[in-house]
A and B are shown apart, each in its own frame.
Chain A
């Protein structure tokens, strides 16, 4: 029996708070000091549930927008938050200084690869693109429609296209470590720039497909992305503080697996957790979903490589 267990569109944390306040009122007749105690508990609960008020500045110079007005197409909330705001102070601290950010190890590894010639053409990334800094801005607009190929492409697809057609090198596996490191390098030079993926024109049909996937319930648990990241962000899912599932911080160094994780790896993990068969990293479904989810974060700063639990 499919029961829509999490389908309310109002803010559930607000509703829950309201019901707690009701129970406080019921207790009010017993003793005044008891009310004070209970009220304090409600306040503490509220502080836990919502994103915190911390501000992120990386290396004392790159200001990161972690909270902004939601793009017009996002129907069910007004404000969007980076996942950084849902993490503990200790996890947040990893991102404040690049020296402390373990994701920067991947960036350093990719810097070496950037300058190394590979393939039959004897070219490196640097031969065409110069310094990685010159790629600043690319991460903010991907996934992006590619006119020649007639498809929406992620950064990973673009990197592999470069490797195959320009360098004559072998394509990397979509979520191989070297690939995710390279995307982390491209992301690191765009940090602080606002996410701004295009959803109209030729990209629209892919975007709509992504939106459909976002709202489709998957797996034995019958959960869609929206059930957790739209209806219940800010609430706890067992021990985890649910974020809005924004992708501005990807690739993400996760403390749980001590490596950089690509967006598609994360999608796969989420869908697996609904006890469904997942799409493969690099599949057209995930590319569409990446475009849609990225568009929900338009306006947040590119933050990757970020650090999460």
Chain B
């Protein structure tokens, strides 16, 4: 597991039905591209977050494939419409096989 990885999510606690809300996500990650060399000239192996997904009550909201050109601490912001009270689940997949998850509840009223 890459060190210092921590997911963060910002979702409003409340929304009205059908409202488009802004969701902000950020995961601290070094996003080593695999193109750089260390001081001895050896290639530093690639280590990035390669996939991000968000679901709401089990239904897919967004899926993102990340490539090596994406820089340190990937920040993804998107809008989602909320039909009902429920839970957003967020998952990030690391090159090393680790999965990081976060979830946020939202109340529609």
Write the residues of chain A forming the contact surface with B, with a CB cutoff of 8 angstroms. Answer: 99-100, 102, 105, 108-109, 258
Chain A residues near B26 (CB-CB < 8 A): 99
CB distance from B73 to the nearest CB of A (A): 6
Q: When the two chains form their complex, are residues A109 and B4 in contact, meaning their CB atoms are under 8 A apart?
A: yes
B50-89 vs A, CB cutoff 8 Å, 1 = contact: the mask equals 0000000000000000000001110100000000000000
Some 9 contacts from A to B, beta carbons below 8 A apart, are A99-B24, A99-B26, A100-B24, A100-B75, A102-B73, A105-B28, A109-B4, A258-B71, A258-B72
CB distance from B4 to the nearest CB of A (A): 7
The chain B residue with its CB closest to the CB of A98 is B10
Contact residue among A99, A102, A108, A258 (Cβ-Cβ distance under 8 Å from B6):
A108
Secondary structure of the B contact surface, majority rule = strand
Chain A residues near B6 (CB-CB < 8 A): 108
- The CA of A99 and the CA of B12, in the complex, are separated in Å by 13
The chain B residue with its CB closest to the CB of A109 is B4
- The CA of A222 and the CA of B30, in the complex, are separated in Å by 38
The chain A residue with its CB closest to the CB of B6 is A108
CB distance from B55 to the nearest CB of A (A): 21
B8 touches A (CB below 8 Å): yes
Q: When the two chains form their complex, are residues B72 and A99 in contact, meaning their CB atoms are under 8 A apart?
A: no
- The CA of A102 and the CA of B4, in the complex, are separated in Å by 14
CB distance from B44 to the nearest CB of A (A): 16
The chain A residue with its CB closest to the CB of B75 is A100
Chain B residues near A102 (CB-CB < 8 A): 73
Known: A99-B24, A102-B73, A258-B71. 11 other contacts (CB 8 A): A99-B8, A99-B10, A99-B26, A100-B24, A100-B75, A105-B28, A105-B73, A108-B6, A109-B4, A258-B72, A258-B73
The chain B residue with its CB closest to the CB of A102 is B73
CB distance from A48 to the nearest CB of B (A): 28
CB distance from A184 to the nearest CB of B (A): 14
B17-57 vs A, CB cutoff 8 Å, 1 = contact: the mask equals 00000001010100000000000000000000000000000
- The CA of A249 and the CA of B26, in the complex, are separated in Å by 23
